[in-house]
Chain A
Amino acid sequence: MSFRKPSVLPGFGLTLGFTTFFLSAIVLLPLAALILAAASMPWNELIRVVSSPRALGSYRLSFGASALAATINVVFGFVIAWTLTRYEFPGRKLIDALIDMPFALPTAVSGIALTTVFAQHGWIGRYLDPLGIKVAYTWLGVTVALTLISMPFAVRSIQPALLEVQRDLEDAAETLGASRLYAFRRIILPTVLPAVLTGFTLSFARAVGEYGSVIFIAGNLPMKTEITPLLIVIHLEQFDYKGAAALGMVMLLISFAVLLTINLLQAWGRRRHVRAAH
Chain B
Amino acid sequence: MSIDLDQVTKHYGGVPVVNDVSLQIGDGECFVLLGPSGSGKSTLLRAIAGLTTVDHGRIALHGRDVTHVAARKRGVGLVFQNYALFRHMTVADNIEFALRVRRVPGRERRARRQELLRLVALEGMDDRLPAQLSGGQQQRVAVARALAHKPEVLLLDEPFGALDAKIREELRRTIREVQRELGITTVLVTHDQAEAFAMADRIGIMNLGRLLEVGVPHELYSRPATRFVATFLGDANLLLARRTADGIQVGAATLASELPSGREHEVVVVVRPEDAEVASTRDELGSGFVAQGVVDEMVFSGALERVRVCLENGAALLASDAAATPSLQVTRTLHEQRAFAVHPGQSVAVGVRRLHVLPTPLSSFTACASTAGVAAALAREPLLTELAARMKTRIVSRVEPQLGAIEAGANPEAPFVGTTVIGAGTDTAHRSEWLLRAGASEVLVLPAQAPQPQRVLIHWLGEAVRSATLAVSASVLRHVPAEAVYVGILAEETRAGRPHGLRRLLDARSEAQAVHGLEMRTELRFGDVAQELARRLAESPAQMLIMGVTDLDRFAERFRSLLDGGRWPVLIVHREAARVPLSLPREALA
A179: Cβ under 8 A from any B Cβ: yes
Q: How far is the CB of B13 from chain A (nearest CB, A)?
A: 12
CA gap between A199 and B87 in the complex, in Å: 21
Q: How far is the CB of B550 from chain A (nearest CB, A)?
A: 52
B315: Cβ under 8 A from any A Cβ: no
CA gap between A177 and B103 in the complex, in Å: 11
Most buried by B among A166, A172, A176, A187: A176
A166–B84 CB distance below 8 A: yes
Q: A277 to chain B: which residues have CB within 8 Å?
A: 90, 127-129, 132
A178–B80 CB distance below 8 A: no
B145–A169 CB distance below 8 A: no
A175–B86 CB distance below 8 A: no
Q: How far is the CB of A251 from chain B (nearest CB, A)?
A: 36
**Considering only CB atoms, which chain B residue lies closest to A193 in the complex?**
B88
A178–B88 CB distance below 8 A: no
**A190-B88 in contact given A175-B51, A177-B72 (Cβ < 8 Å):** yes
CA gap between A138 and B520 in the complex, in Å: 69
**A171-B145 in contact given A177-B72, A277-B129 (Cβ < 8 Å):** no
CA gap between A233 and B51 in the complex, in Å: 59
Q: How far is the CB of A117 from chain B (nearest CB, A)?
A: 40
Q: How far is the CB of A148 from chain B (nearest CB, A)?
A: 33
Contact of B97 among A171, A176, A190, A276 (CB under 8 A): A176
**Considering only CB atoms, which chain B residue lies closest to A269 in the complex?**
B88
CA gap between A131 and B551 in the complex, in Å: 83
Q: Which residues of B98-137 are within 8 A (CB) of A?
A: 98, 101-102, 127-129, 132
**A172-B84 in contact given A178-B72, A178-B101, A182-B101 (Cβ < 8 Å):** yes
B444: Cβ under 8 A from any A Cβ: no
Contact of A176 among B87, B129, B145 (CB under 8 A): B145
A171–B132 CB distance below 8 A: no
Q: B240 to chain A: which residues have CB within 8 Å?
A: none
A263: Cβ under 8 A from any B Cβ: no
B76: Cβ under 8 A from any A Cβ: yes
**Considering only CB atoms, which chain B residue lies closest to A191 in the complex?**
B88
A273: Cβ under 8 A from any B Cβ: yes
B51–A174 CB distance below 8 A: yes
Q: How far is the CB of A8 from chain B (nearest CB, A)?
A: 28
CA gap between A176 and B74 in the complex, in Å: 10
**A172-B80 in contact given A276-B127, A276-B129, A278-B127 (Cβ < 8 Å):** yes
B82–A176 CB distance below 8 A: no
Contact of B78 among A175, A178, A186, A278 (CB under 8 A): A175
Q: How far is the CB of B102 from chain A (nearest CB, A)?
A: 6
A168: Cβ under 8 A from any B Cβ: yes
A168–B84 CB distance below 8 A: yes
Q: A182 to chain B: which residues have CB within 8 Å?
A: 101
* Chain A residues packing against B (C-beta within 8 Å): 166, 168-169, 171-179, 182, 186-187, 190-191, 273, 276-278
What are 11 sample pairs from A and B whose C-beta atoms fall under 8 A apart? Answer: A166-B84, A168-B80, A171-B78, A172-B84, A174-B70, A175-B76, A176-B101, A178-B72, A186-B86, A273-B88, A277-B132
